[in-house]
Amino acid sequence: MNKYLIPLIIFCNLMISSAALNAAGPIAINDKGLPATWRSSKPVAYQTDQGGLGSLSNAEAAQLTDELFQIWQNVSSATISFENQGVLSLDVTGSNVLEFLDTVTPDFPTSPIMFDTDGSITDALNGSGASEETIGFAGIQWWIPSKGEIVVGIAVMNGRFQDGDPSVPDLTLAMFRGTFVHEFGHMIGLGHTQINLDQLYIIESTFAFEVSNVPIMFPIAVSEGETLLRDDLASVSTLYPASAFASSVGKIRGKVFLSDGVTPFQGANVIARNVATPLVEAVSSVSGFLYID
């Protein structure tokens, strides 16, 4: 069985955007244009860490995790589901995380959700000081490219943003929750969206842009909530379509060419907007996103 490792491919940073800015379609595809997805015939199994998460107890952190996965599961037009299979066999910390990750093989029975109580896991994996900026990260750990099947995901939640220590200012609980709805989106195979990306300079310079217009899969953490917008709903439903999804929505078909009108153009962000509420009711797709040269 041909398995391919993707090590923690996406993370969300407090100050700046992450590297990849593709639409909230698949985060990975194989050479036949098949996106990486979990097998929809069974729930995505996960286990939570034994420790706390900043000022949150282990029980509170585990409950938070369950609630945030449930947001994706509640999308009626999608089939993705999750199952909490209890706690990991150890308390993962900065001193043992590398050794632990060596055990997360393609046959690891669940996807580990690590509670980084003091930021030491984040520093161990991303370098000293990373925990002062990185709220958390998640992604695909192992998948089978020939089948487009994800078999193990992984996530790290940084408790330094919920510990009351002023050396790294805490996020509101709403923003912290929204960040991990986003990160768990990566774990199920979603990339970043570019909806309203042209407004990013307004967000970064003045925070004047209405953050309720920002999809959960926006590339930086700005949302004060965890509501999935139209683009998020469309993206997860396209990857994991419920039986009635295709017949309940419209379709736009077309081709994007260079100025010569002949050469196909890969990488154009095509957006469909409701003219009555154009910032909120919008969905996007990037031309040629299922093609690898």
Residue 231: predicted pLDDT: 92
Question: Would the pLDDT of 130 be above 90?
Answer: yes
Q: What pLDDT, in 10s, does the model give residues 62-121?
A: 999 999 999 999 999 999 999 999 999 999 999 999 999 999 999 999 999 999 999 999
Pair 189, 24: CB distance under 8 Å: no
Strand 149-158 with 134-144, pairing: antiparallel
CB 44 within 8 A of CB 87: no
What is the pTM assigned to this prediction? Answer: 0.88
Give dist(CA 77, CA 228) in Å, integer.
Answer: 13
pLDDT tens digit sequence for 156-196: 999 999 999 999 999 999 889 999 999 999 999 999 887 87
